[in-house]
């Protein structure tokens, strides 16, 4: 299941975070990071998925 989340994190970072933690603070932070730059959103999403 983590592979699917990581694939989502690469193409749509907020979706990968949502699948991992739901609509919490990490989801909203990831949306902001993705809007500021696509790469920070990916890095944050992979970090959130990998740490659990």
Q: What sections of the chain are H helices per DSSP?
A: 2-11, 13-21, 25-36, 38-51
pLDDT at 40: 96
Residues 19-45 have pLDDT tens digits of: 999 999 999 999 999 999 999 999 999
pLDDT at 8: 86
Token pair of 33 as six digits: 């990071």
The count of C-alpha atoms lying within 13 angstroms of the C-alpha of 24, restricted to the half-sphere facing its C-beta, is: 8
How far from the centroid of its chain's Cα atoms is residue 36's Cα? 14
C-alpha Rg value of the chain to the nearest Å: 9
What's the pLDDT band for 2 if we cut at 50, 70, 90? confident
pLDDT at 14: 95
- Tell me the pTM: 0.88
Give the Cα separation of 38 and 51 in Å (integer). Answer: 20
């Amino acid at each position: 299941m983590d592979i699917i989340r990581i694939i989502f994190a690469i193409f749509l970072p907020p979706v990968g975070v949502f699948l991992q933690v739901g609509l919490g603070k990490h989801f909203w932070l990831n949306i902001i990071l993705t809007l500021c730059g696509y790469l920070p959103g990916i890095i944050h999403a992979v970090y959130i998925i990998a740490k659990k």
